[in-house]
Amino acid sequence: MQARPAARLTVLSGPSGVGKDSVIEMVRARSPWVWLSVSVTTRPRRDNEVDGVHYHFVDRAEFERMIRSDQLLEWAEFAGNLYGTPRAPVTARLRAGEPVLLKIDLQGARQVRKAMPEAQLVFLAPPSWAELERRLIGRGTDDPETIRQRFAHAREELAAEAEFDVTVVNDSVVRAADELVGLLGSPALL
Ligand code: 5GP
C-alpha cells in the first residue's frame, strides 16, 4: 500500500486580493476532510459574511482578553483591525489527525513558523503585479485610503515570498486549488 502524507498544519498566505478565498472554497469542495480554521477579527462584518463561518466577529475588548489569556496561536493588526487564530481548535484537529489549513497574513505566518516549525508555509502568488492591482481595485467594497493601505501591504507581502516553503501561482483557481490539495495531505490513518 502506498504511504499517505501525515496530516499536518498548512498556512496559506499571500497578498490581499490574490484570491485566497476562491482557492480555499475550491479546496474545500474537493477535500472536505481539510479543516479550515475560523479566525477572530475586530473588522466589521461585510454583507456577504456570516459570523462563525468566515470569521468570529468580536469587539476589541474581547480580542484583547483572548490575547491576555493566551488563546491565540498568532495574531496581527492590519488596516486598523485585529485578526487572530484561536489555538485550541487547531491543536485538537491536528491531534485527531486532520489536515488543518490557516488563511492568515504574513505577520501571522511568521508567528506560526516560530510556534510550530513543522508547519508548511504556502505562498499564493498573483500571475503578475498588474493583475493583483486590478483585483484590489475591482473588489469595490473599500474606500481609496483602504485600497492604498492594501497596495502597500500587498507589496510587502510579495517581497516575503522567499520565506515560504512553496509558492502556488493563482493563474487559475482550479489549477491552484489542485496544487494546494496535493500539498495538504490526507487524514492520518487511525
Ligand atoms: P480581510 O479583512 O480582507 O478578510 O483580511 C485581511 C487580511 O487579514 C488578509 O491578508 C487575511 O489573510 C488576514 N487574516 C485573516 N485572518 C487572519 C488571522 O487569523 N491572523 C492573521 N495574522 N491574519 C489574518
Could you tell me the CATH number of the domain that includes residue 109?
Answer: 3.40.50.300
CB 108 less than 6 A from any atom of ligand 1:
yes
Return the pLDDT at 2.
43
Q: Would you state the cell numbers that stand for residue 76, as one nine-digit string?
A: 496581527
Decide if 190 is inside a domain: no
Beta strands 81-86 and 72-78, pairing class = antiparallel
Q: How far is residue 27's CA from residue 29's CA, in Å, rounded to a whole number?
A: 5
pLDDT band at residue 114 under the 50/70/90 scheme: very high
pLDDT band at residue 6 under the 50/70/90 scheme: low
pLDDT band at residue 72 under the 50/70/90 scheme: very high
Decide if 4 is inside a domain: no
**What is the count of structural domains for the chain?**
1
Nearest CA to ligand 1 atom 5: 16
Q: Mean pLDDT lowest for which of 81-95, 114-128, 174-188?
A: 174-188
Decide if 1 is inside a domain: no
Dist. CA 189 → ligand 1 center (Å): 32
Which residue has better confidence, 75 or 150? 75
Which residue type does 119 have?
A: A
CA 87 to chain CA centroid, Å, is 14
Dist. CA 83 → ligand 1 center (Å): 6
pLDDT of 157 above 90: no
Return left, alpha or beta for 17; rule: phi > 0 is left, psi -120 to 50 is alpha, else beta: left
Q: Which of 25, 90, 104, 151 to mutate to test the pocket of ligand 1 (most atoms within 8 A of CB)?
A: 104
CB 157 less than 6 A from any atom of ligand 1:
no
Dist. CA 119 → ligand 1 center (Å): 18
CB 107 less than 6 A from any atom of ligand 1:
yes
Name the percent of the chain lying above pLDDT 70. Answer: 94
Q: Mean pLDDT lowest for which of 66-75, 87-96, 127-136?
A: 127-136
Dist. CA 2 → ligand 1 center (Å): 37
Return the pLDDT at 139.
63
Decide if 155 is inside a domain: yes
- For 190, the 3-state DSSP assignment is coil
Strand order through the sheet with 56-57: 56-57, 40-41, 81-86, 72-78
Q: Which of 37, 41, 83 to mutate to test the pocket of ligand 1 (most atoms within 8 A of CB)?
A: 83
Which residue has better confidence, 30 or 153? 30
CB 105 less than 6 A from any atom of ligand 1:
yes
Bridge partners of residue 168, in order along the sequence: 124
Decide if 162 is inside a domain: yes
Half-sphere exposure of 85 (CA within 13 A, CB side): 23
Q: pTM for the full model?
A: 0.86
Q: Which domain holds residue 31?
A: 9-184
Return the pLDDT at 3.
42
Tell me the helix, strand and coil percentages in the chain, rounded to 5: 40, 20, 35
Dist. CA 41 → ligand 1 center (Å): 8
